[in-house]
Amino acid sequence: MNWGWVFRWRVQLMAVGVGALAALLRFANLGYPTKLVFDEVYYPRGAFSLLVYGYEGNWEGADQAFARGDYSGLSSEGDYVVHPMVGKLLIAAGMKIFGPTPFGWRFTEALFGVAVVVITALIARTMLRSTLFGGIAGVLLAVDGLAITMSRTALLDGFLAFFAVAGFGLIVWDRERFRRRLGATMARLRDEGKDPTLGFGPDMGVRWMRLGAIVVLSLGLATKWSGGYFLAAFMVLSVIWDITARRDAGIEHWLLGSVGRAIPTFFATLVLTPAVYIATWWNWFATDGSYARQWAENHPGEGVTWLPESLRSLLEYHRQMWDFHTGLTTPHDYQANPWGWMLQLRPTAFHFTDVEDVDCGADRCVSAISSIGNVAIWWVGVAALLFVFYRLIRHRDTTGLILSIGVFAGWVPWLPYSYRTIFTFYSVVFIPFLVMVVAWMLQRIAQPDGPGTWSRWGTIAVGVYVGIVLIVAGYFWPLWSGDPIPYDYWRMHMRIDNWV
C-alpha cells in the first residue's frame, strides 16, 4: 500500500499548525500600542507619504501626531531617507487596505512574519527529512520573542528576514529538483546506450528556481543593503551543491562541469540583481519631488557624467546613504555590540509607559514591549552552533553547517562594525536559520544513530526542552505584546541589568 498521501497530509497539517500558532501570536491585538513605537516614527510615515505623493516627503512637527490621525506635518519636500524602498512599499500596501491605523501599518509585517514561520518549518522538514522536526523548528520560531515583536512592529528587518528565508527555500527547492532531474536524465541516457558520466555530464537546462532565488534575494537587498550578504552566501552554496551532486553522480569532469555551468548563473546575478533593485525605485524615477531627484540637473558636470541624469542622481543619492550608514556612530541608549547578540545581552525596548486606566492587580501598572528573544532558544542556539562544528569534525555531518550559513550571513558581517549605532533586533534576519540549527541538534539528540532509531532519553530530553521553550514564551509574552502588567512583574523579567 502506498502511504505517501499520509506523509503529504502530515506536512500540510504541520504547516497549518505552526502557521496558526504564529498568526495567533502576531495578530492578537496587533493595533496596540496605538502610537508609533521606536523606529516606527520613520517607516509608516514614509509609507503614508508614498501613498499620498508617490515619494517620501518630509515630516515636520511631533512624531506622534501621525498616530493621532494628524497628517498636516507632511510636506511635499523630498525627505532624505537612508534605506531602499521595498519595505516601505509593503507597509504602504497594508495601509492601503486597512488605512493609516496601527493595525494597517503593522499588518503586512505580521503577515510576512507568519509566512517566515511556515517557510522555515517546510525548509527544516526538507533538510532534516522529518515532518516532526520541521514542525519543531516552526514552533520554536513561532514562539521566539524577537520574531514576535519584530512581526508586530512596522520596521524593515522582518521583511528582510522573509526574503532571506524565501530565497534560501528556493535554493533548497532547486537543489532537490536538480538532483531528481539529474538522476532521471542519467538513467534515460543509460537506457539509450550512452554513458552520461563522460565529459562534463548532461546539460540540465535553465534553472528557474535558482533564477527565482536571485530575484527574491535581490528584493531583500532592496529592503536593506545587508540583504546582499544572503544573496552572495546562498549563490555560492548553490554552486557547491551542484558540484557535490555531479561528483556523487560519478560524472568525469564534475568540478569543471559545475563551474562552467555556474557562469551563466553568475552573469544572471549580475544582470538581475541591479535590474530588480533599480526597478524597486520606480516611484523615485516617476516623481519630481523625491529627494535628490534633480541632483544631476542642478550639478552639471559632477558625478558619473556618462550616466543618464536620473541614474546619476540616484547614484549620488546612494553615495550619501552610504556615507550616512558608515558614519553613524551617534550614541543610543539601546545600541548593542553584535558580539552580544547571540546571548541577547542588550535587547531593544520598543515601548514602555505607565497605564492608569486598567486594573492589573497592583498599584502601578505598565505596558512594555521588549525585543528580548526566547532565551531558551537563543542560549541553546549558541550551543547548537558549537555542536555544528563537533558533528562536522567527528561525523562529517554537513547539514548543520549548511543551515548555519544563514546565521553567519546575517550576523558575522556586523562584527567589524561594533563601533556603529546598531541594535540587537537586526538579528531577526537570522533567527529562522538559528532555530533550524537547533531543530537539527535536537534531531541528532533524539535519533543519534540516524532516522528511525530513537533514543529514549534523547527523545525525553527533546520533549522537555520544547516544553521549557513554551513555558518561557508564556512567561515573557506580556513583554512581547505590551499587555498591561504590574510594574513588579515587569521587574521580575529584568534578570540582566542590560535588559532594563
Distance CA 56, CA 434 (A): 35
Distance CA 149, CA 473 (A): 12
3-state helix, strand, coil in the chain (%, to 5): 65, 5, 30
Torsion of CA 355, 358, 361, 367, to 10 degrees: -30
Residue 123 amino acid letter: I
Residue corresponding to grid cell 549548511: 402
Distance CA 335, CA 332 (A): 5
Residue corresponding to grid cell 541624469: 309
Whole-prediction pTM value?
0.94
Residue 486 DSSP label: E
pLDDT reported for residue 336:
87
Torsion of CA 413, 415, 417, 418, to 10 degrees: 150
CA distances from 223 to 161, 190, 257, 469 (A): 10, 47, 35, 31
HSE, side-chain direction, 13 A CA sphere, residue 120: 36
Distance CA 232, CA 466 (A): 33
289-300 residues labelled b (16+ CB within 10 A) or e (exposed): bbbbbebbeeee
Distance CA 388, CA 394 (A): 10
Among 447, 448, 444, 439, residue whose Cα is nearest residue 466: 439
Q: Is 45 helix (H, G, I), strand (E, B) or coil?
A: helix
Sequence-separated (6 or more) residues with CB below 8 Å from residue 361: 486
Omega before 33 within 30 of 0, i.e. cis = yes
Strands 74-78 and 57-59: antiparallel
Residue 99 amino acid letter: G
Residue 58: which H helix or E strand, with range?
Answer: strand 57-59
Residue 353: which H helix or E strand, with range?
Answer: strand 349-355
Residues of the chain short of pLDDT 70, as ranges, are 1-7, 497-498, 500
- Is 311 exposed, middle or buried (CB count within 10 Å of its CB: 0-12, 13-18, 19+)? middle
Distance CA 170, CA 288 (A): 37
55-72 residues labelled b (16+ CB within 10 A) or e (exposed): bbbbbeeeeebbbeeeee
